[in-house]
A and B are shown apart, each in its own frame.
Chain A
Amino acid sequence: MSARPEPYGVAAEFETPDDLVNAARAARERGYRRLEAYTPYPIRELDDVLPMTNYLPMVVLAAGAVGGFGAFYLQFGIAALVYPLNIGGRPLNSWPQWIPIIFELTVLFAACAAFFGMLFFAGFPAVYHPLFRIPSFRRVSDNGFFLCIEARDPRFDAVETPRFLRSLAATSVWEVDDE
């Protein structure tokens, strides 16, 4: 048989959202940085405990700008350069009439950026994950509150970390292997 695989991390389950938030805070105070909480619904208190930089608004702004300028250029290019038509003597670049499509394409590009940007940043689609090996992890989409300290954390220790999590009111603690 092959050697024991690399550990992914240590996961613990908690009974209530309070226990989870307290445990996450304690782990941060211990100096752990690569940790993640898994919950059945968003818990805003975790935002302060597990900080994260949100690039999505900037990406959406940029995509919206591309959509808006692109829409202007599309209409200007076709109506004034490629396929000029004299409609009742209006100027070829009758820009107020480009506004509806500029608006629509701005929204379309920005919305696609919001959706696909979220997939990209969250690492989706990823139908497999080491944590799915924990049988009770399926409660995470129901009523389970989990905390995982990952093995890539500099302070991770195969002996000390599980012991630390057990000390934090966890109902169960698992060592999860990677692959």
Chain B
Amino acid sequence: MRVDELQRRTARPPEPGAHTTIVAPGTTFHSVTAQITDIVLSRSVPDPWFWTFCVALIAVLMLLIGVTVLISTGIGIFGTNIPVAWAFPITNFVWWIGIGHAGTLISAILLLLNQPWRNSINRFAEAMTIFAVACAGLFPLLHLGRPWVAYWIFPYPNTMTVQPQFRSPLVWDVFAVSTYFTVSLLFWYLGMVPDFASIRDRSKTGIEHAIYGILALGWRGASRHWRWHRSASTLLAGLATPLVLSVHTVVSFDFTIAILPGWHSTIFPPYFVAGAIYSGFAMVLVLAIPVRRWYHLENLLTIRHLENCGKLMLATGLVLAYTYVIEPFTSWYSGDKFEMFVVHNRATGPYAWAFWSVMVLNVAFPQLLWFKRFRTDTRILFLLSIDVLVGMWLERYMIIVSALHRDWMPSSWANFVATGWDNAILYGSGGLFVLLFLLFLRFCPMISASEVRELLPFSRPGGGSVK
């Protein structure tokens, strides 16, 4: 019998140098398919899924109420003021879009670098990207105050004979974020097509067969299909790699092109990209650690995946720590008294609590990741990831609020205090993200079955596995 034969072969002791820790021994083609598709085809969900879904649904209702009040009243319900005109909405925007970046890094950059360990985490990291960018896109829209005229930012022939200002980074941002969302969505869907075919072929009811059959587009696993698929995936990965760096660079241009002290700095693009990937890996871990336990995926999402994410988090965190050092140095070295004031005010002014929290959360605690003992302990990793997510949100808050609240003229100085609506929409967007992610877990193949099959030791003629 086929399965027994393969199982007998996998039960052989691993050969030296074989990639045995990516997928647990004893995994067969069929067990991978069954494990991944049964999650979608099963009628039941794990209990923690259900309760998290309920909480997320309540948060989404809160978001809907917040958005309704916002649209019917105006952005006066926020604590946003002049001079702190960006405050929560733009903090949230930059934070969410940064979280998406680790998904693209895992799916595109690690694909080009031929890192096979990414194969079982790329799918849900990509899903994380899509949902994070969707949450991010919400905030500039809501922050407009008149979201129903948001389309004015696009260049289109109109009777007002008014056109967008292409010298403005805010217009660049619209193009960057919408391109990023589109490319991520295409990449994500393209990767899922073969797995939709697996679900189609194992579906038990007509409706499932029809829905997943349409989503699978008629995938038959022909060698031609695989080659077009691989060619398109590689091309999309090659395009997504510079794209992901450009998106956060353009986001940082929103800041640097303003002449505000504390924003007008050439270090911002790498500073923002490093921070984005840092928070993104934290979110990957926050999602992966519970999911592998809920769905018993420890054989596919091994401790090695979590440890590698921890290492990448440590590396990007160190880049970020370096920019934390260079930024005040540049201010001091410039001799510009306004620049020096921003640095001093950040550490001792009304928002010093945010600055020092960032230093502790983003720089101090993550140093625990140097130790293998902490990198391989899922509870510590989970807590450190939450720590980084909070730290990165506070960092964006610090950059925006501490630079804006004290600008050139003391007569225009004002502090910012968040309102309940600010918080409701922030936490509501978190609920939306979790809700979308839970629906993805329920209805889409969360791990790429075809890519995991490639990792199995007997997947290549001659019995060798993918390098």
Give chain A's interface residues, CB within 8 Å of chain B. 15-18, 21-22, 36-47, 50, 52, 54, 56-57, 60, 74-75, 78-79, 82-83, 85, 87, 90, 94, 97-98, 100-101, 103-105, 107-108, 110-112, 114-115, 117-119, 121-129, 131-132, 138-143
Contacts and interface: CB of A to CB of B under 8 A. Distances in A.
Given A37-B222, A41-B459, A115 B186 contact: yes
Contact of B218 (A42, A110, A128): A128
A131 B2 contact: no
Interface in B329-375: none
A142 B232 contact: no
Contacts of A85: 165
Given A54-B227, A56-B232, A104-B175, A125 B214 contact: yes
Interface in B168-218: 169, 171-172, 175-176, 179, 182-183, 186-187, 190, 194, 197-198, 200-202, 213-214, 216-218
Given A122-B225, A124-B218, A128-B218, 12 more contacts: A38-B220, A39-B226, A41-B194, A41-B450, A42-B454, A54-B227, A74-B155, A79-B165, A97-B167, A101-B166, A119-B217, A142-B33
B176 A104 contact: yes
The 5 closest A-B pairs by CB, nearest first: A138-B201, A118-B232, A143-B29, A42-B226, A126-B218
16 contacts: A17-B461, A36-B224, A38-B223, A39-B221, A41-B226, A41-B450, A43-B461, A56-B228, A56-B231, A78-B155, A94-B167, A125-B217, A131-B220, A132-B220, A141-B202, A143-B33
Contact of B228 (A46, A50, A118, A139): A118
Contacts of B450: 40-42
Interface residues of B, number: 71
B304 interface: no
Contacts of B250: 100, 104
Nearest to A16: B458
Nearest to B183: A111
A36 B239 contact: no
A60 B179 CA distance: 16
Contact of A101 (B172, B228, B458): B172
Contact of A141 (B167, B182, B219, B223): B219
Interface centre among B169, B172, B220 (most CB of A within 10 A): B220
A142 B176 contact: no
Contacts of B164: 78
A45 B460 contact: yes
Given A38-B220, A114-B239, A122-B224, A101 B453 contact: no
B201 A142 contact: yes
A142 B202 contact: yes
Q: Which of A40, A79, A85 has the most CB of B within 10 A?
A: A40
A132 B3 CA distance: 23
A167 to B, nearest CB: 19
Contacts of A46: 223
A108 B183 contact: yes
Contacts of A40: 29, 33, 198, 221, 450, 453
B73 to A, nearest CB: 33
B281 interface: no
A141 B240 CA distance: 28
A41 to B, nearest CB: 4
Contacts of B28: 143
Contacts of B462: 18
A114 B242 contact: no
A131 B240 CA distance: 35
B451 interface: yes
Given A42-B450, A42-B454, A36 B223 contact: yes
Contacts of B292: none
Contact of B163 (A83, A90, A122, A132): A83
Contact of B166 (A75, A108, A128, A141): A75
B379 interface: no
B31 to A, nearest CB: 9
Nearest to A22: B461
B113 interface: no
B159 interface: no
Given A18-B461, A18-B462, A115 B226 contact: no
A138 to B, nearest CB: 4
A82 B163 contact: yes
Contacts of B55: none
Contacts of A16: 458
B179 A108 contact: yes
B218 A127 contact: yes
B222 A110 contact: no
A15 B2 contact: yes
Contacts of B194: 41, 141
B227 A42 contact: yes
Interface in B401-456: 450-451, 453-454
B296 interface: no
A175 to B, nearest CB: 18
Nearest to B176: A104
Contact of B179 (A39, A54, A107): A107
A112 B163 contact: no
Contacts of B226: 39, 41-43
A114 B235 contact: yes
Contacts of B6: 143
B162 interface: yes
B47 interface: no
B157 to A, nearest CB: 9
B71 interface: no
A41 B232 CA distance: 16
Given A112-B186, A142-B198, A36 B235 contact: no
